[in-house]
């Protein structure tokens, strides 16, 4: 594999960012939410896209959530 300096730089920044939060995904997520909240840029929340019926046959059933899904739904806080 060819060493790409741009990829190496991105990986280095990602590693440093994860280390800053002791590799705790919940802490990283909370920090990102806080950064988003304090940003002056608009946040766009788009609804999920529907999958075309022709593509659904290729998706394993455990990854398809429907109205009759037995998987629990997680309600958002707030």
Structure pTM? 0.52
Closest by CA position to 59, among listed 50, 71, 48: 50
Task: Give me the percent of the chain exceeding a pLDDT of 90.
Answer: 50
Lowest mean pLDDT among 3-17, 38-52, 63-77: 63-77
pLDDT tens-digit readout, 39-64: 999 988 888 877 777 776 777 777 76
Q: Where are the beta strands (DSSP E) in 4-44?
A: none
Q: Spell out the domain ranges in the chain.
A: 1-40
Looking from the CA of 26 toward its CB, the CA atoms found within 13 Å total 0
């Amino acid at each position: 594999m060819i060493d790409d300096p741009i990829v190496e730089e991105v990986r280095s920044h990602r590693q440093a960012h994860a280390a800053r939060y002791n590799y705790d995904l919940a802490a990283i997520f909370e920090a990102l939410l806080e950064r988003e909240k304090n940003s002056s840029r608009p946040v766009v929340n788009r609804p999920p896209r529907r999958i075309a019926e022709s593509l659904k046959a290729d998706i394993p059933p455990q990854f398809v959530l429907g109205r009759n899904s037995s998987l629990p739904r997680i309600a958002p806080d707030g």
